Amino acid sequence: MSTLEIDRVRKSYSSLAVLKEVSISINTGDFLVLLGPSGCGKSTLLNMIAGLETITGGEIRIAGKVVNDLSPKDRDIAMVFQSYALYPTMTVRQNIEFGMKIRGVSPGEREAAVKAAADMLQITHLLDRKPSQLSGGQRQRVAMGRAIVRQPKLFLFDEPLSNLDAKLRVDMRTEIKRLHARLGTTIVYVTHDQIEAMTLATRVAVMKDGVVQHLDEPQAVYDRPANVYVARFVGSPAMNIVPACLEVQGATATVVFDIANRPSSRISGIPVSEQAARKYSGRKVLAGIRPENFAVAANGADANLVVDVDVVEPTGPDTLVVFQLGGAEVTARLPPKQALPGSEARLVVDTSRIVLFDADTEARID
């Protein structure tokens, strides 16, 4: 069942269009991540789902019901903000049960709900403390506890981990994933962190300037990004985008790269559709190659790419090797100690994973 439908939703502040015809639909149990850079409209969209912002155009439906004109408290949602918004004068217990108290839930039921949520979040020993006596991560758990006890149809999270240090952020990410698995609830989660999006989401919407660029499962977004923007935003180091010329031979193609001080390099055997072959044969394209899709040729003769190594950056588990290709700076992720600066590297590119983009529109070529 579709729990949330965002149907051609628009938002303007006077003449400024912040969201332009956004359409996203997710099913019960989905974990939707709204991913994009600062200012792209993520919080605005989340706040519109919550009822904290008016909707300029289009429709939002929760469990089939249009909520455009419903007040936040009637939408059956719970929201966790970046700032947690805990009541400073109340204890953790009072913070968690406050909403239930307002709704007239009996003391016995409240007690049981607080206990269950506190156990799950491992904050039982903190129930009598005030928020000021908690660490950032503990506060974050309390804010989640408050959301859980409401048993809403939809959880909304706006960058809930951005105030935490790097280590805690990774721990809490795992907690949120576990929580989602245990409760099976539907979640909409805002972040600008592509790793959070990849690890948590069942569906990712990559946004830019108020427009959804790509909506799909995280692996599909990673493997077959809709355009160059998405390709560069998801994955670190980013996907290499290399200008090339496309030559077609039946069902496969060759990309031809110019390399400074060397004969141009040709990588053959890239699968292309009949339609793409017809349209792009002999034309300039952009070849998208992930850093991990390069390997060192086991036998020098197997190499389909020979380059001059510019910079070598060891990261521990592997080494980032930087070189020039087709006029672009390219990064390959290789095993440690496989390349030296200033030396020649004989590489193999996994042709099945190369993604081609239109050089003008920057849209993926299918």
State the residues that interact with Mg ion by CB under 5 A: 43
Among 42, 110, 141, 208, binds ligand ATP (CB under 6 A): 42
User: How many CB atoms are located within 10 Å of the residue 190 CB?
Assistant: 25
C-alpha–C-alpha distance, residues 110 and 116, integer Å: 10
> With respect to Mg ion, which residue has the nearer C-beta, 47 or 240?
47
Least separation in angstroms between CB 111 and Mg ion: 35
Q: Are 97 and 174 in contact (CB under 8 A)?
A: no
Look-up of token digits 């039921």: 109
Q: Are 196 and 208 in contact (CB under 8 A)?
A: no
Question: Which of the stretches 40-48, 143-151, 193-201, 318-326 binds ligand ATP when contact is defined by CB under 6 A?
Answer: 40-48
Least separation in angstroms between CB 98 and ligand ATP: 26
Binding mask 180-219 for ligand ATP (x = CB under 6 A): ------------x---------------------------
Q: Which does 265 bind (CB under 5 to 8 A by kind): Mg ion, ligand ATP, none?
A: none
Q: Are 72 and 18 in contact (CB under 8 A)?
A: no
C-alpha–C-alpha distance, residues 10 and 212, integer Å: 12
Least separation in angstroms between CB 13 and ligand ATP: 3
Least separation in angstroms between CB 170 and ligand ATP: 20
Binding mask 12-31 for ligand ATP (x = CB under 6 A): -x--x-x-------------
Question: Which of the stretches 42-50, 109-117, 240-248, 305-313 binds ligand ATP when contact is defined by CB under 6 A?
Answer: 42-50
Least separation in angstroms between CB 82 and ligand ATP: 8
C-alpha–C-alpha distance, residues 322 and 348, integer Å: 15
- Alpha carbons within 13 angstroms on the beta-carbon side of residue 34 total 32
- Total residues belonging to the chain: 366
Judge residue 181's burial from the number of C-beta atoms within 10 Å of its C-beta, 0-12 exposed, 13-18 middle, 19 or more buried: exposed
DSSP secondary structure code for residue 237 in this structure? S
Q: Which does 41 bind (CB under 5 to 8 A by kind): ligand ATP, Mg ion, none?
A: ligand ATP
Q: Are 34 and 188 in contact (CB under 8 A)?
A: yes
Strands 77-80 and 154-158, by their bridges, are: parallel
> With respect to ligand ATP, which residue has the nearer C-beta, 17 or 105?
17
C-alpha–C-alpha distance, residues 313 and 207, integer Å: 31
Site for ligand ATP contains 320 (CB under 6 A): no
Site for ligand ATP contains 40 (CB under 6 A): yes
Least separation in angstroms between CB 192 and ligand ATP: 5
> With respect to Mg ion, which residue has the nearer C-beta, 52 or 348?
52
> With respect to ligand ATP, which residue has the nearer C-beta, 14 or 343?
14
Question: Which of the stretches 32-40, 176-184, 197-205, 345-353 binds ligand ATP when contact is defined by CB under 6 A?
Answer: 32-40
Question: Can you say how many angstroms the Cα of residue 145 is from the centroid of all Cα atoms in its chain?
Answer: 24
Helix axes 136-148 and 92-102, enclosed angle (nearest 10): 20
Q: Name residue 346's beta-bridge partners.
A: 306
Q: Which residues bind ligand ATP (CB under 6 A)?
A: 13, 16, 18, 36, 38-44, 192
